Amino acid sequence: MNQHSSAFCTIVPPHILERLSASDDPAVAEAARRTLLVDTAQRAARTQGPAAPADAEPSDTPKRTIYDAGHGTDLPGVVVREEGDAAVKDATVNRAHAGLGATFDLFAKAYGHRSIDGAGMPLLASVHFDEKYDNAFWNGEQMVFGDGDGELFLDFTIPVDVIGHELAHGFTQHSANLAYFGQSGALNESVSDVFGSLVKQYALGQSAAQADWLIGAGLLGPAIDNGVALRSMKEPGTAYDDDVLGKDPQPATMADYVRTGSDNGGVHINSGIPNHAFYLLATELGGNAWERAGQIWYDVMTGGTLTEEARFSEFARATVAAAKARYGDGEEIQAVLKAWTAVGVPVE
């Protein structure tokens, strides 16, 4: 793992939680502060590598285990559902199980990639983590879901793209291993948004034109008056503009690139730029986004050409090369060039 590894990654960005922690509402501030404290402790305690060995022969079916953390912070907790078990009474457990399966299906069926490491890695998840925990995370070996506080955020297993996003951090960890800082960190976050969105689109059978391109739709609670999701790939910067949450700070183009020392150099903020490039590519090509657009991103991530500290321009050039290698000099490469040009990332 490099210095700024992707082993601990949360879905709710620190800038949102930091704003909430300064709220005049004591309940809002307390929930946010508690979540930030727990995140800091988990980041310090993070583990690396799969928790269980993969089979010698990767399977076409997932190997899922869901644990119940019992509202504590000791991981993983008690096993409550294993692969092949029938659904249980706890809807949160069943949603986590289904989301792991939906993510496995996208990678296996669309790209022939068995689990997130390509070698059949078992997929583990813990639900009911801590009390009123307003986040979900990947810690290098498993998924962890909070129940939310019920006012700001609801149960983090509700949006399947949140599950896909966090598991895609594991995919990145086992493929390009993009450093979690600056532009490479923003790419790391963007790749998770891309594949998280593709998991949702694949599961729902949605074309690029039909998809909402939102990350975390259905997650915001009743205390949020003006917000639809955590991020928008279609229109970065428009996911929320709310008295409690503040204004979505994501830029859509390099003209508005945010230079900041917080959030590991703005990894959750500037990810809007490559996110928007992918959206533009997918909608330009039409059809299902996981097919040509997703295939190009997948080829880049698994092609072994990216450096761990890749900047946007390096990633963009890699997508051009991947499009040419797979599709030749057709409309795909032109669409890739057009998308990156539109967001102001040079490809020459």
Are 232 and 302 within one domain?
A: yes
pLDDT, average across residues 262-268: 92
pLDDT, average across residues 333-338: 98
Residue 348 covered by a domain: no
pLDDT at 103 over 80: yes
Domain end call among 124, 147, 174:
174
Question: Mean pLDDT of all residues in the chain?
Answer: 93
pLDDT single digits (tens) 21-63: 999 999 889 999 999 999 988 877 755 433 444 445 667 899 9
Question: What is the span of the domain harbouring residue 91?
Answer: 9-174
Contact 339, 289 (CB under 8 A): no
pLDDT at 344 over 70: yes
pLDDT, average across residues 9-14: 90
Domain end call among 148, 174, 200:
174
Please state the domain count of the chain. Answer: 2
Are 50 and 84 within one domain?
A: yes
pLDDT score of 159 = 97
Q: Is 232 helix (H, G, I), strand (E, B) or coil?
A: strand
pLDDT score of 57 = 64
pLDDT single digits (tens) 159-176: 999 999 999 999 999 999
**Catalytic-role residue among 151, 166, 284, 332:** 166
Contacts 24+ apart (CB under 8 A), 307-310: 308/2, 308/176, 308/177, 308/178, 308/179, 308/184, 309/179, 309/182, 309/184, 310/176, 310/178, 310/183, 310/184, 310/187
Burial track 45-84 (b if 16+ CB lie within 10 A, e otherwise): ebeeebeeebeeebeeebbbbbbbbeeebebbbeebbebe
pLDDT at 265 over 70: yes
Q: Is residue 309 annotated as a catalytic residue, yes or no?
A: no
Instruction: For residues 292 and 311, give the distance between their C-alpha atoms in angstroms, rounded to a whole number.
Output: 23
Contact 234, 228 (CB under 8 A): no
Task: Name the nearest CA neighbour of 97 among 121, 74, 127.
Answer: 127
**Catalytic-role residue among 4, 113, 268, 276:** 268
Q: Is residue 166 annotated as a catalytic residue, yes or no?
A: yes
Question: What pTM was estimated for this model as a whole?
Answer: 0.95
Are 188 and 94 within one domain?
A: no
pLDDT, average across residues 80-92: 97
